Each structure stands twice: as C-alpha cells, then as structure tokens.
Chain A
Amino acid sequence: MRELTATMTGFARTLRAAGVAADHERTQNLLRALAHLDVTAREDVYWAGRLTLCAGPDDLPRYDRCFAAYFGGLRARDGRTAARPVTRYSAATDRGEGGDGPEEALAATASTLDVLRHRDVARLSDAERAEVHRLLALLRGRRRQRRSRRYAPSHRGRLDQRRTIREALSRGEVARLRYRAHTVKPRRVVMLVDVSGSMRPYAETLLRFAHALARNEPRATEVYSVGTRLTPITAELSHRDPDTAMRLVSAAIPDWSGGTRLGEELKEFLSVRHARGAIVVVASDGWERGDPALLGTQMSRLARQAYRVIWVNPHKGQADYQPLTGGMRASLPYIDDLVAGHSLAAFEELGERLAHARRVG
C-alpha cells in the first residue's frame, strides 16, 4: 500500500508540473478510488486517475501525456514546463523611457485638465498620457444592477411567510403580513479588448479602463484580450496597483500588436463561456483579418445572449468617422451602442453607460 501511495503521489506531482491541478485532496480521492478497482490493471489505474485528478477537458490531453510518460516507464520532463509566453511589449517600461518620469507629470489645473479630458490619447505626450491614466484609475463608476437570488425584508414584494408566522406565534394571531423582496447585485460586465497592431495607441488606456472596472466590481467583471487569440486577463487585472496590473497583463498576453481575428475569438468565447445577462463591451477598431461573415454570425449570437452590446471604437472620436471596416460593417446590426474610446471624456461617458444600460427590445 505504501508503495502504491508513493507511486500515485509521484504521478500527481508529474501532473502538477504539467499544469493539472492534481492537489492533495484529489490524490487522496485517487487512492480511495483504487481501493475499489484492480490496481494491477492499467486501464483501471488510467480511469481512476482521470476521474479523480482532472477538472476539465483542457486537462485531458495533459493527463494522457503524463500517464503515458509516467506509467510507460518514463517520467514526464520534470520542472516548470509550462513556458510563459515571451513578453514582447511591456506597457510599464514603455512609458518610463525618454525621461518623462512621473515627477515631470502635469500639474493638473482645472483648465489643462479640461483640455486633456477631450484630447485623443494617441496624440498625447507620455506625461499627459500618464496623467490620463492616473485619472482613469480614480474612475468610480456605478454599475447597472440586476435582481439577485437573495431576499431581504421589504415593504413590498412577496409575502414573507417565515417572518409572518414567527410574529403570529409570538402575538398569538396574524396581526401583520410581512413582505420580502429580492436584493440587487451589480450586473456582470464582459470586456473584450483588442490588442492588435492597429489598436496599439489605445490598448493600454483601454486596459487601464478595464482595470478600473475590475477594481470597482471585482466579482462582476470579466476581461479578455483579443487579437490572434483569446486571453483571459481578469486575474491579472485584480491587482490593486494599476501599474503592477498592467505589467502582469502584458506578461500574460502572448499576441500584442498582431492581427485581429475577432470572429474566431468571439466564437471561442461563446463556446467556453457565455454572455447571458451580461453587458458586453467590445473595444476594437474592427480591422478584422478573418472572415467578416463569421464575425457577423458570432455577433448575432452574442447579441441574442447579452443584456446589451456596447462597441468602443477609438476612431469614432474623429469627426469624419464612418464605420467602413469590414468587421465594423458586419457587426453594426448587432451593436446597441457604438461609442468612442479615445479620450478621458469618452471613457467617463462609457462609465455612465455601464451605470444606466438597459436591455434592448
């Protein structure tokens, strides 16, 4: 038995090195499962391990590889094999270079602030952009609420049977009917930020806006970067300090400044997650490298699930802007609001929209 425990603990360690969350509790479950099976049968060991140690379809190929390596006589290569994608762009260092340190940041008097508020972030100096980013971090938006599952005492709503009975008991008669109503919770916001080459001047500002959203409502905000692949970055954005969060995000995103295949990524998003009841914010210029027809189909699916679809296009801030890119044209029928995302004022407006968004139709 001791030998079996050692073998299985070693196997679990191999799995953890490969990125499967085979923790102690799961390993114990494996040993318990094996007590009911034939430990000398390869198939039985395979299934017992797979059933107790894996937690999702992503784990299965890794499990199969590790199983073959470990029980085939060879151990899977040890150590931290899950290579972190190489950082090609670091938002934090990019801004620090060139002598425009924070000490040279603008003294924001009322008038300069007001001018700054409406200027296109792509045309700002590094110091000005730092100031905008500082103000973005201070953004405290309210969030549109949704009905939650819980109840609280209220003056109207449904009859609170439990409280009514309790009172009737202590008084000996039903003197008053008590009521209860659902409490409210912030509505979920899903933000997809395009980090492709054409969005490069705006990507960091958008991500900082996303950081402010995630900080305000950590449990009701999900953020993904899109480009050539869909990367969840909610965890990275949960860090309190905006600069640290940006550093974590830029390390996590493998496809900075590449192309955009928004259609495929939306499809991926909709197959692993869902947008039911959420306010979905897509921040992109719509320079779709993939098939615009696919993007249109996925946008229509998204629109059917989402509470509201808001598209942020930084170029909309320009006076002569027309939604002419293929991706934009394909998506337009399914967008509830098309807003600009090029200046601080535009972000404040977007924040307002998130506070007051209503379902369409």
Chain B
Amino acid sequence: MDIESPAKLVELLDRHAYLADEGLATAAFLAMKMGRPLFLEGEAGVGKTELAKTLAALMEAPLIRLQCYEGLDAAQALYDWDFARQLLHLKAAEAAGVTDVKALEGEIYDRRFLIARPLLKALETQPCVLLVDEIDRADDEFEAFLLEVLSDFTISIPELGTITARTPPVVVVTSNRTREVHDALKRRCLYHWLRHPGFDREVAILLRRLPACTETLAVQVAGAAQRLRAADLVKPPGVAETLDWTEALLTLGAKDLDPALAAVTLGAALKYREDVEAVLANGLLGHA
C-alpha cells in the first residue's frame, strides 16, 4: 500500500473513523516510511491503542498485540519451546530405538516445536502492525529486550539461529507515563505526545464514531468533558471515556445532556468515587 503524504494518511484514517491531527498523522506516516517504531505517550484514553488498531485495519494487516505487565518475560514476549511435544517426540524416538543424540537434538529444536509469542510472531507475519501496549507497566529490564528486537528486527534463538523480519512491521509502542521509559528505547523511536483533543475535534470524533449521536448532545458532552478535564480530578476522562459516556446516554435514549441522566451515567466517564462526588457537588455537569 502506498501512502504518499501525511495528508493522505489523515484521509485514510478518517475513512476508518479515526480523526487524526496533522502531528499524529505525520508521526504514523514517518513510522511506516522509515520503518521505525512510533512511541506514543499521553494520558489514558487519548486514542493511543486505537491508532494501532486503525492502522492495522487500513493496511488490511493483522494487529499483533503485546500487553505489558509487571513480570513479563522473554518466554511470554518472544518465544517458548513446546515442552510437552518435545518430550513426546523424545519418547517416540526412544520407543523406535533411535540412539543418535545429535540427530535427535536437531529434531526437537525444530521450528515446529517453537511457540511464537507476539514479538516473534510480528517478525514472521508480513505485513503486520505490532502494538506494544503500556510499556511503562513492564519492568525496566524488559525494555532492554524490546530495544534489541526493535533495533534490527531480529530475534536470535540459541538452538535454532537468527530470525529476521524481511520487512519490518509497523510498530506502535504506547506508554501512560507512570514511569520514565529508558532514553535508549525512545531514541530508537519517533516520539509523539498525544494530548486530549480540543472541543471542536472532540465534537467531530463523537459524531464520527456514534452515528446515532445528535449534534446537540455531542456539543454538550464535549463541553462537559472539557470542563471535567479543567477541574482538578484524580483521573480526567479521555476520549475513550467520553465515547463510552455518550454511548451510555444514547442507550438510555437521551437527546441532550439531561442533568439527571448525566448523573446516573457518569460512571462511564469517571472511574474514581472521589471524582464523581466532586463533580456532582460542584455542579460541573450543568449546561454552559
């Protein structure tokens, strides 16, 4: 697929209901052209993960996702040997009276006994979009692994040899910035800081994503969302939350942001009890 300019990518993303601004589109465009990972940082719910999904959709390529968590290790991210099948194979060989250890070793360390985890799978699938989600949740040792894989898109397996991607996958690394990611990894990537969308863009996103949403409701919800973000909350709502909230309102048949309906559906937008209480007490939901 040939995308000739960032503007073209904006258009393609829009066709898949993702409204990107020029900065984000340029970032994704360069990531695809330069074969470099895109490092997306920003508050939760600004559309980091969604971008990877949309890129996969418009490239008509599979999305391979590696969700990071504390304790994630190579066996879960790169590859693992299928122990049970290896043992079965050994038993079978033993029963058949095979004694050539060298040959047997070659057999059980064959590609078919290897279980590909997301990173290896991404190198073997072409084309594909690799999403390394919430890298800040993994231990910092894990970044070293990732850096190794992302710098030349190869994985070396001691028993098997080196596996190299013929064309590098499009890689999106996201971080919620709960921890500073090592500079060496960032340097390898294109860095983009995603912020919450402005009022106009958010209205456009709501209308684009939720066809049932009326313009009145979109304007009111986006307005409320801007006020909530300006208020001093533990967790200000992201676009993902605004979308959920609007969908909840639509499900209840709301035509506009009725204060009573807004209050009962607020749990879709705010995930902390303190925040819900603060918002209700200060009347932040009222129409502007």
Contact = CB atoms under 8 A, between A and B. Distances in A.
Nearest to A166: B105
Nearest to B113: A165
B267 to A, nearest CB: 20
Contacts of A273: 178-180
A287 B211 CA distance: 55
Interface string A11-23: 0000000000101
B108 A165 contact: yes
Interface stretch (A49-57, A196-204, A317-325): A49-57
Given A51-B192, A52-B190, A57-B41, A44 B105 contact: no
B94 A172 contact: yes
Interface in B128-168: 139, 141-142
A297 B81 contact: no
A42 to B, nearest CB: 12
A114 B242 CA distance: 64
Contacts of A48: 26, 30
B30 A33 contact: yes
A162 interface: yes
B109 to A, nearest CB: 9
Contact of B179 (A26, A38, A274): A274
B110 interface: no
B87 A47 contact: no
Given A51-B190, A273-B180, A297 B87 contact: no
Given A165-B83, A170-B101, A272-B177, A36 B30 contact: yes
A138 interface: no
Contacts of A108: none
A159 B80 CA distance: 14
Given A162-B81, A172-B101, A301-B234, A51 B191 contact: yes
Contact of A50 (B23, B71, B186): B23
A173 interface: yes
Interface in A107-165: 149-150, 159, 161-162, 164-165
B34 A33 contact: yes
B173 to A, nearest CB: 13
Contact of A168 (B27, B90, B183): B90
Contacts of A38: 5
Contacts of B139: 149
Given A149-B73, A169-B104, A44 B26 contact: yes
B194 to A, nearest CB: 10
Contact of B29 (A23, A36, A274): A36
B248 to A, nearest CB: 27
Contact of B90 (A51, A55, A161, A174): A174
A86 interface: no
Nearest to B22: A43
B26 A54 contact: no
A57 to B, nearest CB: 5
B226 interface: no
Contacts, number: 100
A235 interface: no
Contacts of B26: 37, 44, 47-48, 51
A273 B178 CA distance: 5
B67 interface: no
Contact of B101 (A50, A169, A274): A169
Interface in A24-71: 25-26, 29, 32-33, 36-38, 43-44, 47-48, 50-52, 54-57, 60
Interface in B177-197: 177-180, 183, 186-187, 190-193
B274 A297 contact: yes
A174 B23 CA distance: 58
Nearest to B158: A162
B22 A169 contact: no
Nearest to A26: B187
Contacts of A55: 183, 186-187, 191
B7 to A, nearest CB: 10
A13 B29 CA distance: 26
A54 B191 contact: yes
Given A32-B34, A52-B190, A169-B101, A47 B183 contact: no
A172 B99 contact: yes
Contacts of A33: 30, 34, 190
A51 B86 contact: no
B121 to A, nearest CB: 20
B201 interface: no
Nearest to B178: A274
Pick the 4 closest A-B CB pairs, nearest first: A161-B83, A47-B26, A36-B33, A274-B178
6 contacts: A29-B190, A37-B30, A48-B26, A51-B26, A150-B141, A274-B178
Interface of A: 21, 23, 25-26, 29, 32-33, 36-38, 43-44, 47-48, 50-52, 54-57, 60, 149-150, 159, 161-162, 164-165, 168-170, 172-174, 272-274, 276-277, 297, 301
Given A50-B23, A273-B179, 5 more contacts: A21-B183, A52-B190, A149-B72, A169-B104, A173-B94
